[in-house]
Structures are given as structure tokens and as C-alpha cells.
Amino acid sequence: MTKDISTKSQITWCPGCPNFLILEAVKRVINELIKEGNKQEDFCIVTDIGCNSKIYDYLNLSGVYGLHGRAVPLAEGIKIGNPKLKVLAFQGDGGAYAEGIEHLIHAIRKNTDISLIIHNNEAFSLTTGQPTPTTPFGKKIKNEEIKLEPLNPIKLALSLNAKFVARCNPYDIEDTKRIIKKSILFKGFSFVEIIQKCLIFSPEMSIFEKNFYKIEDNKRLENAWEIANQWNYSSTEQKIPIGIIYEKN
Ligand SMILES: Cc1ncc(C[n+]2csc(CCOP(=O)(O)OP(=O)(O)O)c2C)c(N)n1
Ligand code: SF4
Ligand SMILES: [Mg+2]
């Protein structure tokens, strides 16, 4: 693994968790941007609380380890305070689409220049697997069956006039790196969702992985809607587009 911006903190993710791959992709991006002339102190990271947010401890970068659902307003405040910083916010699907969805909606509307990276494992994993807004229809959790169609966050972002919307496959570290790098360099709010199965509380998501396919970077809004409609976050049959779904400078 890339070492340069690592910390000495012991990594406590479950062995094999795709969060390791997301960490590696982020390290490669930051290292590449540093090689291209940026300084380590040009970056600032903000996290929520959750398995995803442990990434804060594993990156030797300045920032704030925030509250669940609140990474976005923290990131916006930091960016307003020091517009020269490149600000990255990390959240889970529980933090982004449930606890903090109001912040997500207004940050997209305001188009604040931050990169939001969402680790979507379709579960509140740190608190043992309760359902989130993207939990699949029909999933059985303890004695209950989810009878609610999931939110489609890509459609939500497009409906709010988001200017950078992307979806990543964590197993493709280089493509995830490429997309995160573009999101950091993009001037405006960038929405990057990573489909990250949780080995313990959403192992069924491995069925989705066979449906991943890469798309070309897209700049046409009507195509973006067509791409967004291809997967409903429940189906094990529908194709799942991976890549930059919409980018408008
Ligand atoms: C305001 C607040 N509400 C609830 C919690 C409890 N809590 C901590 S982590 C978590 C679940 C996190 O799920 P998600 O955001 O999807 O992240 P994951 O663990 O799946 O990466 C919850 C409910 C909290 N810490 N703070
Ligand atoms: S509980 Fe799930 S998301 Fe959390 S570290 Fe383990 S595999 Fe990863
Ligand atoms: Mg989650």
C-alpha cells in the first residue's frame, strides 16, 4: 500500500473490507497531487462517524473528525474560512442520505467547492446493520423485511442541479483514484458515491458487483438521467453504471 501519507494508527476495519481499497485510492490521489506541486497542508479532510469515517485516523492530513451526518456543513465552513484549501468530506450512506440529508441537499444547491465521498454499503454498519435509505427492498434484517423502495441518490443529486456526479467501484482502485482526483480539481460541489459492500451487514451486495460496468465520462444531462435510471439500488439484475455520470463546468 501507498505509505507516504499513512499514520501509525492501527487499522480496525474487518479484514477484506472494501474501505481499505477506498483508503488506498485516496492516498494515491493525494500523493499524485502532491507530486504535481500541491502541499500536504493544502488538503483538509472532514468525516462523519461510522466505519467509513475511521479513514480520518489513517490519513496524515489536517481536518476534523466530525459528528454523524454533519461532515458536509463542517466541510463547507472550512472551505468558506479558507478557500485555498482542497476540502474532502467522507460519509456513509447513513450519514449522507439519512442523518444529514438536509445538509447534502443544500450543499448541492449552493454548489460549494468541496468533494463529498460517500461509502454506500446500504447499511448503518458501525451500529450493527440497521437499514438506511438505500437498503434494498425486500432485505430481511433480524425479524423485519424492508418494504420501502430505496432512494436513488444519483437522481436526487441530478434533480438538485448537481454539476459533478459520479459512482465508483472500489475494486477498481485506479478508476476510483481517477474519479476522486477529478472531483477534487472540479470547481464546485462534487458528489462521488462508492458502492462499498459491508462484509458483515450487507454481504448480499456482492451480487450487485457482477453488474458493474464502466461508462464514458458524460457531459449531457439527458444521458445522465438515463444512466441514473439504470439501477434502482435493489435489483440484482440491472446493470450498474460506474464512472462520471455527469460533469458540467
Ligand atoms: C447524531 C448521531 N446519531 C446517531 C449516532 C449513532 N451512529 C454512529 S455511527 C452510525 C451509523 C453509521 O452508518 P453510516 O453512516 O452508513 O456509516 P458506516 O458505518 O456504514 O460506514 C450511527 C447511527 C451518532 N453517533 N450521532
Ligand atoms: S462492519 Fe462492514 S463496513 Fe465496517 S469494517 Fe467491517 S466490513 Fe467494513
Ligand atoms: Mg453505511
Ligand 3 being an ion, which residues bring their Cβ within 5 A of it? 92-94, 121, 125
At residue 85, the pLDDT reads 98
| pTM (2 d.p.) | 0.97
List, in order, residues 6 or more apart from 226 with CB less than 8 Å away: none
- Whether the pLDDT of residue 1 is over 80: the answer is no
At residue 202, the pLDDT reads 98
pLDDT band for position 190 (cuts 50, 70, 90): very high
Ligand 2 geometric centre to CA of 21 (Å) = 12
What are the angstrom distances between the C-alpha of 177 and each of 9, 210, 245? 23, 21, 16
C-alpha torsion angle, residues 228, 248, 37, 56 (rounded to 10):
-40
For 109, the 3-state DSSP assignment is helix
Q: In terms of C-beta density within 10 A (0-12 exposed, 13-18 middle, 19 or more buried), how is residue 234 classed?
A: middle
At residue 249, the pLDDT reads 84
Cα–Cα dist 59/44, whole Å: 10
List, in order, residues 6 or more apart from 157 with CB less than 8 Å away: 108, 165, 191
Q: What are the pLDDT digits (tens) for 72-103?
A: 999 999 999 999 999 999 999 999 999 999 99
Q: What are the pLDDT digits (tens) for 115-144?
A: 999 999 999 999 999 999 999 999 999 889
Q: What are the pLDDT digits (tens) for 46-74?
A: 999 999 999 999 999 999 999 999 999 99
Structural contact between residues 126 and 189, judged by C-beta atoms closer than 8 angstroms = no
What are the angstrom distances between the C-alpha of 123 and each of 117, 133, 139, 231? 16, 9, 11, 18
CB-ligand 2 contact for 205 (6 Å cutoff): no
Ligand 2 geometric centre to CA of 143 (Å) = 22
Residue 227 is placed in which grid cell? 444512466
Cα–Cα dist 80/6, whole Å: 27
Atom of ligand 1 nearest to the CA of 132: 16
Ligand that comes closest to the CA of residue 96: 1
At residue 2, the pLDDT reads 57
Q: What are the pLDDT digits (tens) for 210-246?
A: 999 999 999 999 999 999 999 999 999 999 999 999 9
Ligand 2 geometric centre to CA of 244 (Å) = 26
Ligand 3 geometric centre to CA of 86 (Å) = 25
Residue type (1 letter), 232: N
At residue 4, the pLDDT reads 79
Q: Please, what are the domains in the chain?
A: 19-247 (3.40.50.970)
Per-residue pLDDT, averaged over 186-211, amounts to 98
What is the DSSP secondary structure assignment for residue 56, as one 8-state letter?
Answer: H
Mean of pLDDT over the chain: 97
Per-residue pLDDT, averaged over 174-190, amounts to 98
